[in-house]
Amino acid sequence: MIYHTRYWAQQDPERLAFRICATGEDVSFATLERRANQGAHLLRELGLAKGDHVVLLMENRREFLEICFAADRAGLYYTTASTHLSPEELAYIVEDCGARVLLTSEKFNEIAGHIATTMPDLDILSCEQWKRRAAATPVSPISDEAQGLDMLYSSGTTGRPKGIKWPMPDSPPGGRTMLIDLLGGLFGYGRDTRYLSPAPLYHAAPLRHSLVTIKSGGTAFIMSKFDPEKALELIETHRITHSQWVPTMFVRLLKLPDELRLSRDISSMQMAVHAAAPCPIEVKRRMIDWWGPVIHEYYAGTENNGFTAIDTTEWLAHPGSVGQAKLGRIHICDEDGRELPNGVEGEIYFENGHQFSYHNDPEKTAASRNDEGWTTLGDIGRLDESGYLYLTDRKSFVIISGGVNIYPQETENALLAHPAVLDAAVIGIPNEDLGEEVKAVVQTVCGCRPSAELEAELTAWCRQRLSPIKCPKSIDFRETLPRTETGKLLKRQLWEEYRQQPILRTAVRD
């Protein structure tokens, strides 16, 4: 099978490749093929050759995908940058990856202007400039087409973003790739797929799943940002078959009023995939009760050094698991790299997964490997006797209180099960006697006012479900918590804030 827009443009030129839901813009396969060819010509005119690098900074819009498809057939590395970066953070990524061109939308003129003053040799094009210049190029393919690759940066939830680089394939575009084999094989993306992407395309999963869908002849429906009511409307209106979510989206969907939540027809859904963070067991049970046996989960990182997956039936037999390995072999190791027996928590390593490196950072690359050559993302988990993996938390998030390891995810899951809680983060804050104590930061549902009474109620709620040492000693309330648009909690941001600024709090004593 050919995985190329050119093939689908020849088969059915007017077939819809993708829609930008916020604007209603539709792009057919014929149009996408034409614009991708023109974009590839423009990239060559800008002096970019195979293996060179471009950076995209723009909101979800049609040019975003068109530029990615152009770079993908011009043999380039393309980095999709977060739209929430500061000028300094963007400059770091542009410089670190060695980009020769920065492509932005008009929404980011100010940050582009800042970059222009600090990097005068960098070519910067707005979307309007891109469209105007590309329109003057040939619609035929470039003569030296080659398969390109994304080179994405980690979200920086535990430190400075790291560029994840894979070796550039030596093949023409349109063939089978590791991502097509993995995602297509597991989730069945194909010509009849109608895929809903409710998250920013600059993140790995939304970008890669959208591209694989389109390359496989399916149609991607791209939301500008996640909105639970709008997502349900789109599923019903466009008869969505496949979709991708994170646990915080599930929580927000479930917190909708029942009369609104249950009024939409979601019967077209064949597969709802979720990942990015551990999903509270009760949240997932409620989603399965609502959506049925279409919910699939996977565990992986942008590095794609390993991959696990689990469907609904398996999960009901192994609640809380993220599945068995589909790429690589899992090992659980202690801090000295020794393998641990089943049932014991430790750091998760993958053997025989795809190799990667952190761009320009040999120390971080080396730190992600043990003496056996196995690779880790720094997550903590355990295996059961059947080889099913259970995530505990990230190694860097572990709270050590009185010499005892406490995994915040368990406490966060307990808080999220309370009807008044929309979002929750748990971190360790300094304690003179114990080293650290458990602090919770909570966002309440609309209409529920924070109070000392609610704090006491949430503390009692946790104590009914967890051992006392895992329960928050104090709870702060906020209007929102710092998350990426794909739902990843920026816990390091909270952690640093609570260490740098003195805070007033009412401690809940044992």
| CATH of residue 334 | 2.30.38.10
Predicted pLDDT of residue 156: 52
Domain end, chosen from 141, 173, 205, is at 173
> Is 125 within 8 Å of 133 (Cβ atoms)?
yes
Same domain, 385 and 422: no
Residue 433: which domain range?
Answer: 401-500
Same domain, 393 and 405: no
Same domain, 371 and 476: no
Rounded mean pLDDT, 454-475: 92
203 domain residue, yes or no: no
CATH number at residue 80: 3.40.50.12780
Same domain, 438 and 480: yes
Greater confidence, 395 or 54? 54
Same domain, 352 and 487: no
186 domain residue, yes or no: no
145 domain residue, yes or no: yes
Angle (deg, nearest 10), helices 62-72 and 204-215: 70
Residue 319's nearest CA partner among 263, 374, 279, 262 is 279
24-41 pLDDT, tens digit each: 999 999 999 999 999 999
Which tokens belong to 324?
């068995």
Q: Residue 469 carries which DSSP code?
A: G
What is the sign of the dihedral through the CA atoms of 135, 136, 138 and 141? negative
Instruction: Please check the confidence at residue 155 and state whether its pLDDT lies above 90.
Output: no
Predicted pLDDT of residue 483: 84
Same domain, 50 and 152: yes
406-430 pLDDT, tens digit each: 888 889 999 999 999 999 999 988 8
> Is 197 within 8 Å of 244 (Cβ atoms)?
yes
**How many other C-beta atoms are found inside a 10 Å radius of the C-beta of residue 282?**
14
Same domain, 324 and 371: yes
Same domain, 68 and 127: yes
What predicted TM-score, i.e. pTM, was given to this entire model?
0.82
Helix residue ranges per DSSP H, 279-325 = 281-291, 312-317
Same domain, 379 and 428: no
Domain end, chosen from 173, 202, 237, is at 173
Contacts of 496 (CB under 8 A, 6+ apart): none
Report how many domains make up the chain: 3
138 domain residue, yes or no: yes
Domain end, chosen from 348, 374, 397, is at 397
CATH number at residue 433: 3.30.300.30
Question: What is the residue-averaged pLDDT of the chain?
Answer: 91
